[in-house]
Amino acid sequence: MRVAFVSLYPEQRRSDGATRRTRRVAEHLAARGHDVVFLCSQWWDGELDAFEQDDVEYVAVSETPSARTFASKLPFALRRADPDVIHATNSPPSQVVAAKTAARVLRVPVVVDWWAARGDDSARMLGKAATSANRVLTPSRMVKTDVREHGAPEDAVTVVPESIDVDLVRESDVDNRADLVYARHLDEHANVESFLLALAELRDRDWRAAIIGDGPERDAAEQTAAELRIDDRVEFLGDLPPAEFVPILKGAHVFAQTATVEPFPRGLLWALAAGCVGIVEYQARSSAHELVENCERGVRVTNPQELADEVVAAAGHERASINEAFADFDHADVLQSYEQLYETERDDYGFF
């Protein structure tokens, strides 16, 4: 199958949850033998109009990340790409509307992978994007509710979660450096302070903690740990690749999820699969609580004191380094969901 991905911002230009998800799906589809072309703003040096990386052909629709220029040129680029299905990210929404214009001529479906709206996305255009797609995919039920509020029909929205490498979890060694772990990009939504406040409540107990991730709020978090007099037992490890952070998760007993905004908590998913007890601080704009629903090794709390209490209660769970209940989140299983959805939408056109 030939799949055309549409994203003004590829991960190589802007790395966030949406772009990482899109790049991962594109590369995994290419690895499975699909013909994948990625239409985006140019992120590579030189005068080449196209650039191949990890079996994905990147095509520059525009030289700069201008939403207006990108949308105006996109229909022509899609006609040249001649895909069987168009896979577009929801932001900026103008690219979805432009993709639909080309899709009508090409007689192919538009699948929109919806992560979150960015600050300059208008509600009117988001509504057009939600209703023009043949199928909208979301990483969680929370995001599905957002899309429904923008006008997408209930039966046109499907939840396809994030994925992880379950074999890596099974095969990794165990690193026992930390009992408690927090892992996320340390931005304004990280809310790592809740985790640190909970640790401060437990300063009289024996524990070691690790914070995995980097970002603009890291210095503030380190300062908070120092002010709470727990910095000697909290190790800030910065960004780590899965091969390095999975062993730490396998050796830990508790993973804390406290971020205020989270379309899908992939760090929590890695931790649960690695056997951690997941403690989720409920936040209105986070879907993390969905992962611990009906999960024996997961619990939801509402404040740092409750988080501290549940850390203590977690002693009632035996330590584990793998939880096979999360095996269905493996890359291969989730990728198959994408393939099946593509085929279903493509077949609805009656040409295959």
CA-CA-CA-CA dihedral for 126, 127, 132, 136, to nearest 10: 70
- Block residue for tokens 């069987």: 84
Distance CA(276)–CA(270), nearest Å, equals 9
Task: Return the pLDDT at 351.
Answer: 46
Task: Return the pLDDT at 47.
Answer: 86
Distance CA(236)–CA(215), nearest Å, equals 12
Mean pLDDT (10-residue bins), the chain, 352 residues: 97 95 98 98 92 96 95 97 98 97 96 95 96 97 97 96 98 98 97 98 96 97 98 98 98 98 98 98 98 95 98 95 97 97 86 44
- Do 158 and 340 contact (CB within 8 A), yes or no? no
Task: Return the pLDDT at 350.
Answer: 54
Rounded to the nearest 5 percent, the helix, strand and coil shares of the chain are: 45, 20, 35
CB atoms within 10 A of CB 202: 18
Task: Return the pLDDT at 95.
Answer: 98
- Block residue for tokens 């990794």: 172
Distance CA(175)–CA(206), nearest Å, equals 18
Distance CA(77)–CA(106), nearest Å, equals 12
Distance CA(330)–CA(88), nearest Å, equals 23
Listed in order, strand segments (DSSP E) in the chain are 2-6, 35-41, 50-53, 56-62, 85-89, 110-113, 135-138, 157-159, 180-183, 209-212, 234-238, 254-257, 261-262, 277-281, 285-286, 298-301
Task: Return the pLDDT at 349.
Answer: 67
Task: Return the pLDDT at 168.
Answer: 98
